[in-house]
Structure formats: C-alpha cells, structure tokens
Amino acid sequence: MATVNDRAVLQTIFHPNVPFDEDLEEDQEKQQATQEEGFDPELLKQATRLEAQGIAAAEGGDLELALEKFNQAIQLLPERASAFNNRAQAFRLGGEVAKALEDLEAALKFSRGAGPVARQGFVQRGMIQRLQGQEEAARRSFEQAASLGSAFAHQQLVLMNPYAALCNQMLSEVMKQLHPKGQEKGC
C-alpha cells in the first residue's frame, strides 16, 4: 500500500503543474472534516452531493448547471467554504473573474484561512492575481498557500523569484556549453 508521501510524489511526477494535487493527503482531509463538524450532517451530505454534481457539470462543460448546483449547496449551508471555492472555479472558467474573486474571499473567510479549502482558495486567488499582472498580491497569496502545504504555490513562488529565474537561465547556458548539440548522450 502506498503512503501519503508516495502518492504525493507520483502525483507530482505525473501531473507537475496541477495546482490541487495536494488534496490526496490524509491530513488535509481530516482537517476538512474537522472544519465541517459544526454543520448539520444531513445538510452537509446534501451540500456535498450538490457540489459533486456541480463539479461533474463543470468538467463536462456545463457551467450553467454547475453554478446552479453550487448555488444550491451555498443556500443549504451559507457558511461552508467549499461550495464558494468550487463556485469560484466555475465563475473563473466562465470569464467572471470579479465574481470568482468575491467567492474566493468568502471561502477564505469561512475556512478561517486554514485547511485544504483555504489552501486551494489562496492558490486560485494567486493565479488570478498573477494573470491580472498583480505580482505582489499573487506572491502574498502563494505564500499563504505554501504555508498551508501547497507544493504548487511553492513552485510558483520559485518561478516568480527573479534571482531563481536568472540562476535557472545561467544553469541552462552552462548545460548547453557542456553538451553541445550533436554530442548529447542518451540515458
């Protein structure tokens, strides 16, 4: 049986640029369950089912249905962070970035800035901020996500570091000089 670390390594190897790969970690799932202890179990079950239907609809390209399902989940449990986080993704996919950012702020508020939903929210917010050219705000969001254990956010911080970029460029040049074209050796 693979350990959590084994699964994380394999996930990183096969999907190195997927921002939400850390969700496989058992500790994060336990943290999520702890955050949801205060909700009525039946309403939580219904909201979770609606969210799953919304995610499936979004993955199938039906953003209208996805938003409908996320809205229903939010109506059931208006202080549950997860539905806001998922609806933010649907808004972002539909080009409604301002609404996505509003939902991310709600998700971060209701998650109290902790756990897997907050980690995802910080990553999503950082990605949007970076696409909008708000580098410093994106850096802060990625730092918060990285502090919650996001390997993707850590990777983004490294990529955003101008010194790291310069170092990588210099290393690449050195490697090219060591192995000129035509003389590269295979494994």
pLDDT at 29: 54
Q: Digits of tens for pLDDT over the chain (187 positions)?
A: 444 554 555 455 444 555 544 444 455 555 555 567 788 999 999 999 999 999 999 999 999 999 999 999 999 999 999 999 999 999 999 999 999 999 999 999 999 999 999 999 999 999 999 999 999 999 999 999 999 999 999 999 988 887 766 776 777 788 888 877 655 554 4
pLDDT at 22: 45
For residue 114, the 8-state DSSP code is -
* C-beta of residue 142 within 8 angstroms of C-beta of residue 115: no
Burial code (b: 16+ CB inside 10 Å, e: under 16) for 90-124 equals: bbbeeebeebbbebbebbbebbebebbbbbbbbbb
pLDDT at 37: 77
pLDDT at 34: 58
- Within 10 A of 88 (CB to CB), how many other CB atoms are there? 27
pLDDT at 158: 87
pLDDT at 83: 96
pTM of structure: 0.72
